[in-house]
Amino acid sequence: MNHIKVAAAVIIDNNKVFAAQRENKGELALFWEFPGGKLEDGESGESAIVREIEEELSIKVEVIKHLINVEHKYKTFSITLIAYLCKIVEGELTLKDHVNSEWLVKEQLYTVNWAAADLPIVKIVETMLGSNSEK
C-alpha cells in the first residue's frame, strides 16, 4: 500500500477556520479537508505547508505551531497527516485545486463531510474556536 506524508494548514481567522472541498476525483473526491499537500523528498512539514498553500491558495502563510500527526489508512493508500496552525501573512485567498471553501465557526464544523484523516484535527480545532454564544 502506498504511504504518503502530507502537511495540512489549519488557518484560523476571526474565530473561524478555513476548510476546502477537494476536486471530484480519486478516493477522497469532494470530501472536505484542511488544505495542504505532499512533502517532497527531504522537505520538512513546515516548508511543505508554506509551499503548498502558496501553490493551492495563492497566499503566504506563517507556521505558528505543530498541532498533531494523524496516521490513517484509506482503501487505496495510507497517510501521515501533519497539521500546523498557520496564519495568513500575505495575499488574496484564491482556490486553484479545490472546488469550494468555507470559513467555519465552531458550530458549523460538522456540517461538511470531512475526509477521515482530517477528523482528529477537527476535534482539536473545536477546542480552539470559541462559541458564537460567547460574543
Domains of the chain: 2-129 (3.90.79.10)
pLDDT tens for each residue of 20-79: 999 999 999 999 999 999 999 999 999 999 999 999 999 999 999 999 999 999 999 999
Contact 71, 95 (CB under 8 A): no
What is the total residue count of the chain? 135
Contact 61, 33 (CB under 8 A): no
Spatial CB neighbours of 57, under 8 Å, sequence gap ≥ 6: 20, 35, 91, 93, 94, 95, 96
- pLDDT for 131 equals 61
Cell of 33: 479537508
Tally Cβ neighbours within 10 Å of residue 17: 23
